[in-house]
Structure 1
Amino acid sequence: MRQPFGTAPSLAQMQAMADAALAALPPQFAAHLGDIVTQVQDFAEEDVLAELELESAYELSGLYSGIAMTEKSVEHSGAMPDRVFLYRIPILLEWAERGDVTLEHLVHHVLVHEIGHHFGLSDEDMHALEDMAG
């Protein structure tokens, strides 16, 4: 789904990349995702940025919204499904700045990072796992 030079993918096209990345997750992980929903937006909402104490919407490429599996209980039944937000413009900016990965790879990376929060992993946990793997 590589775009011609100078053409940024639309929200729908990036959503298709996220959906493909989600579908490609190994079955042992996918089986534990439940009804997780992915949503692509251009930027995070202002209230999200304020809650995270971020000054710029460009600082956030993805967000997990929900209750991690390690904290869920029967009391949470009937709650809204967990969601992963991917923010198109910050992802495109990182992709352009890096130049060493495909956009699909970067979308997959951000999605997997946010799904890590669903499994109860912190940012520090995930960075340590990436360092060990790479």
Structure 2
Amino acid sequence: MNESSVNWGRRTAPSLADIEALADAAFKALPERFTRLCEGVVVRVEDFPDEETMDAMACETDFDLLGLFRGRGLTEGEHLAETGAEPNMVWLYRRPILDFWAESEDTLADIVTHVLVHEIGHHFGLSDADMEEIERQASERD
């Protein structure tokens, strides 16, 4: 279907479940060497970060943060779960992602993949070049 044939008058904004489905598809398309690093990582989608996160990240607006990794990365030593420790989590923030998408020429799927890879990648010690290569490999698998 080409863009001119899409009936935008009947479209609604992608829901939390829609973004979650895009994140799941993005994760499944990532190279195995990357997904092995992600064992046990939980991906959550929310509309916006909570106030605590906004304060901790010094955000000026609700739209400043597209995603966030919380947990213990491989660069922080042993990656074994401690008793009572929260799992490693990636938060994707739907409304800021949609706002970014509205100003971008990238597809929503590409943006979700980018945010997902970067939130995981930075906390597992990957360079920007490494993450760009992972995104490139993921796009080839689509």
Per the shorter chain, which TM-score range? 0.7 to 0.9
- How far, CA to CA, are the matches of 1:129 and 1:4 in structure 2? 35
Larger of the two Rg values belongs to structure = 2
Aligned residues: 127
Structure 1 residues 97 and 70: CA distance shift in structure 2, 3 A: same
Identity in percent: 44
2:139 aligns with none
- How far, CA to CA, are the matches of 1:129 and 1:16 in structure 2? 21
The amino acid across from 1:77 in the alignment is E
2:68 aligns with 63
1:13 aligns with 18
Equivalent positions of 1:67-82 (< 5 A) are 67-73=72-78, 76-78=81-83, 79-82=85-88
1:85 aligns with 91
How far off its partner does 1:32 sit?
1.6
2:35 aligns with 30
How far off its partner does 1:128 sit?
9.4
- How far, CA to CA, are the matches of 2:24 and 2:131 in structure 1? 24
Question: What are the ranges of 5 or more consecutive residues in structure 1 without an aligned counterpart?
Answer: none
Residue among 116, 120, 123 paired with 2:125: 120
The amino acid across from 2:103 in the alignment is E
- How far, CA to CA, are the matches of 2:92 and 2:7 in structure 1? 22
- How far, CA to CA, are the matches of 1:12 and 1:63 in structure 2? 18
TM-score, normalisation: structure 2: 0.78
How far off its partner does 1:9 sit?
0.7
1:50-85 alpha-carbon deviations (Å, 9 max, x no partner): 011112110000000011101132775332210000
Question: What are the ranges of 5 or more consecutive residues in structure 2 without an aligned counterpart?
Answer: 137-142
Residue among 97, 100, 107 paired with 1:94: 100
How far off its partner does 1:23 sit?
1.2
Structure 1 residues 13 and 80: CA distance shift in structure 2, 3 A: same
- Poorly superposed stretches of 4+, deviation over 4 Å: 127-130
Structure 1 residues 97 and 75: CA distance shift in structure 2, 3 A: closer
Q: Does 1:52 align with 2:60?
A: no
